A and B are shown apart, each in its own frame.
Chain A
Amino acid sequence: MKYFRLVLANLGRHRLRTVLTILSVALALFLFASLRSVTTTLAATAQFGGARRLVTTNATGLVFPLPLAYGNRIKALPGVTGLSWANWFGGKYGDGKRFFANFAVDAESYLKIYPEIVLPADQRDAFLKDRTGALIGKRLLSQFGWKLGQNVTLQGTIFPGDWTFTVDGVYTPTDPAIGDDVLIFHHDYFDERIGRAGIAGWYIVEIDDVSHAPAVAKSIDDLFRNSSSPTKTGTEREFQATFATMWGNVSFLMSTIGLAVVFAILLVTANAMMMSARERTGEIAVLKTIGFSDRLLFALVMVEAGVMALTGAVLGLGGAKLFYPAINFNGLGFLPGFTVAPSTLIIGALVAIGLMLASGLAPALRAARLPIVQALRHVE
């Protein structure tokens, strides 16, 4: 441990250089953590979904509704323990620049089937009693400056007109993938205003046992196979996954770019670290003369590289871990529940260790193998 002060003294000699090196390592790893988290968050969204929930949509495509009358027929099937339905509304608020999801749901059954939507009991009751009430995720409060009990007016894009709702409740999702920037309102009110068209965008089906999922899905689809609107039923997880894959190659491109970024910065950093080690040929020779062993010198140079790489890693990875929750980041609503996963931190730490080896090994070996006589010639 007594040598640690020597390492610190060495680092303190070119303070600016040390700080810059540490900062560039920190930036590289911050960026790495951010970009990888985009991918892991998308993947986590695809993992969302109670295994006991199935989603039934129109087989022709997500944009086509299903008859509301399907509900009772699905509910009567064996293995089905709960049912709710929802319809995409697509309303805009204000200038519409800030997108958020809003849909009409069959309120009582929806809240029962999604225990992840948590809100105070009195707000829940108020919402269930108020036909023109709405329930909003807590992020919308700060996003639009709405308050509990306030009236908000959405402009319908698919269903024209001004739709005014009373904010009866604010919920906090226990599963981040459910989204805290969503507005839901009563399907019954929706259906009435569009002239009792009797449509549901999708059904959420709760089943008694996970293992029955394929069988129940098949029996639902079989039931409507020859009707005017055939259905497609899958687990909620599959349903979510289709949204995640819609980013297509773009999410893959992002991760590729992330790797290029990290590689680029690490390259430059390793170079700077090696250059600073090379300057010290003379003093390494002096240290050898006064009795420092080869092994000790090797260790000293490696530790110096390690201190820089690991300090950078702590700053960069720790910074990413703390920064995103602090600004409540959700990628403009596209990345609900954005988190820096532990696996990202571990990989980031491994990258830092790799950097330590890459930048420290060459100068450390050089220091260990340096012939004293030759090196001392450089010392005046």
Chain B
Amino acid sequence: MIPIVYNVRSVVRRPVSTALTALGVGLVVAVFIGMLALANGFRAALAKTGSNTNALVLRKGADSELSSGLGRDVASIIAADPHVATGADNRPLVSPEVYVLIPLAKAFDTTQIANVVVRGVSDQAWQVRSNVKITAGQRPTSGRPEVCVGSRLTKRFPHTGVGQTLHFAGRDWTVTCQFSAAGSAFESEIWGENEQFMPVFRGDVFQSITFRLKDPATFDDAQRALQADKRLTVDVHRESEFYAQQSQLLGNILSFLAIMITGIMAVGAVFGAINTMYAAIASRAPEIGVLLTLGFRPWTVLVSFLAESAFIAVIGGVLGGLFSLPLNGIVTSTTNWSSFSEIAFSFRVTPFLLLAGLIFAVVMGVVGGFFPALRAARLQVVQALR
């Protein structure tokens, strides 16, 4: 075998060309990782929103909380259901919720309007949603026009700090606390008491009812029992599945774009790599002739040049990974068209993505290096040595 040192030295001998090729590959990899990190972050935010131990009830046929509507009678039937877990005070862990969207102007550009979720919850909601933690202030007092604001809203929208007053639905609401919810979509919501929101929004109707299952394994039973109940016309979803499904539309669009854009880019980068390697091999024909004269077999020359191309690509892959790392954790926001609401989420650059980026780089290098390497291996000694 031709020692790999030969390739490393050759690569180092032409630093500009190597750097340009590696940089090109690196940018492709960075975009690849960056775009998938975006799709990933979006999916993760919604996947974390729902809990496996909770069930979400919507009106039959409704595909989002927004389009659903349930009466008080439904809420009381569900609260009495044996599948519902009970809290320490023996009250059922049920949260009949009001779910509406309100337009809020963004802090940095007031012409940009976002549809923010306002969720009216019951007293039990804070227990039902175990991922929700109050990080500052006190929970809204029942009977008062008070709200608690998700942590991702505070920086992006004015008047959302604890102690400030938000104005919506024609009334003033005091912000008494701020909550976090493990990076989930709840962090982009405003929570208040359901009984406070009912009269100012849509009247005596809930949009969804979420309850904690006594035993997560009995979800199917609970679903069957409630959907078969003649008094109800509802669909019962596992909360985790429901929110994961809400991420499908946009998540798929983002992934599709990531694959398509980086796919086209990759082809361009591979073309570039092929050219670079052809040029490299053309200018090193005498060297290759010497190698062949020395007795190295053509296939070892092939492997050697493939390795060289892969080596340049790996440099690019590492560069690309490094470029994409600062993206991790950056918060961005968009409208989730499945729920029509604005959701903030962060880029998630995972080790898996970094590895995928590196593999992607190597593949580009090997594909780009193959035909030039083949030509190198097939060189006629006499001709090459001239």
Contact = CB atoms under 8 A, between A and B. Distances in A.
B253 A247 contact: no
A312 B257 CA distance: 23
Interface stretch (B58-66, B133-141, B145-153, B220-228): B58-66
Interface residues of A, number: 60
A31 B28 CA distance: 13
B268 A271 contact: no
A261 interface: yes
Contacts of A64: 100, 201-202
B115 interface: yes
A270 B276 CA distance: 10
Contacts of A157: 61-64, 67
B12 interface: no
Interface in A122-177: 155-158, 160-161
A264 B24 contact: yes
B111 A245 contact: yes
Contacts of A241: 111
B21 A268 contact: yes
B332 A264 contact: no
Nearest to B233: A160
Given A63-B66, A250-B332, A257 B269 contact: no
A60 B386 contact: no
Contact of A268 (B24, B38, B280): B24
Contacts, number: 184
Contacts of A17: 275, 278-279
Contact of B276 (A60, A99, A263, A271): A271
A246 B67 CA distance: 19
Contact of B272 (A24, A63, A90, A380): A24
Interface stretch (A4-12, A272-280, A295-303, A365-373): A272-280
A276 B275 contact: yes
B101 interface: yes
A230 interface: yes
Contact of A248 (B20, B168, B169, B342): B342
B173 interface: no
B11 interface: no
Nearest to B18: A271
B28 A264 contact: yes
B115 A246 contact: yes
Contact of B20 (A63, A270, A380): A270
B272 A268 contact: yes
Contacts of B66: 63, 158
Contacts of A66: none
A264 B265 contact: yes
B27 A24 contact: no
Given A17-B275, A157-B67, A261-B265, A267 B101 contact: no
Contacts of B10: none
List 7 A-B pairs, minimum CB-CB distance, nearest first: A268-B272, A272-B275, A264-B27, A268-B24, A275-B279, A265-B268, A246-B335
Given A24-B272, A248-B334, 6 more contacts: A17-B279, A20-B275, A24-B269, A230-B170, A246-B335, A269-B271
